[in-house]
Amino acid sequence: TYVTSIPLQPYLLYLLFRYSSENRDLFILVVGALVAFIASTLDLYNMVFAPSNPFIAHYGFSVLMMSSVVFVVRDMLAQYRSLVSEQRRSAALHEESMRDQLTGAFNRKVFPMIETGLPDTYSVVFVDLDDFKRINDTFGHGAGDEVLKHLSAAMRGNLRLNDYVVRSGGDEFLAVLPDCPPERAVVLAERVVA
């Protein structure tokens, strides 16, 4: 049992420290494992250096507990990693579903989210490309797509980071500008037009 517990305890501590650096929620588990490690180390000391000490009766249980904890913690950490990975993937898919694939701007699905988070003062800027049908008819839909991408990039590049650029129709965009009075919105809109 002495030889068995030597690799188990450091391995368990390694696993816990490794994953607690990624997630602070595991800190309480690290503290518990440290307490178990200290108790087992004390038992080892008593067994080797003070065999007449009566406080070694639970040593075998400590080794059994540590080996069980290693198994359970490894399984728990694998499930935790899987859950975190799934949450990230779900968040990425949710974000992707709210984006227009061509332009990268938000699509109309974002409106309920925007409405719930808007402050009292906000502005909305509507942008429509003049004669966009003529661009598609003359140069083709590929050129029209490039114009839409360029407009979306110009809007995102000239607005603030917390502003929402939404493609609301074929060549129609709007920008929702939180905490932006109308005078400031006019300046931002003129910058996009320029």
Cα dist from 113 to 79, 88, 89, 164, 174, whole Å: 31, 19, 20, 11, 15
- If you search the block for the tokens 């305890």, which residue do you land on? 9
- Cα(117)–Cα(176) distance, integer angstroms: 11
Question: Side-chain half-sphere of 166: how many Cα atoms within 13 Å?
Answer: 21
- Cα(132)–Cα(97) distance, integer angstroms: 26
Of 43, 100, 163, 171, the active-site residue reads 171
What values do phi and psi take at 52, rounded to 5?
-85, -5
Q: Which helix (H) or strand (E) holds 51?
A: none
- Cα(106)–Cα(115) distance, integer angstroms: 14
120 counts as catalytic: no
- Cα(155)–Cα(144) distance, integer angstroms: 17
Residues involved in catalysis: 171
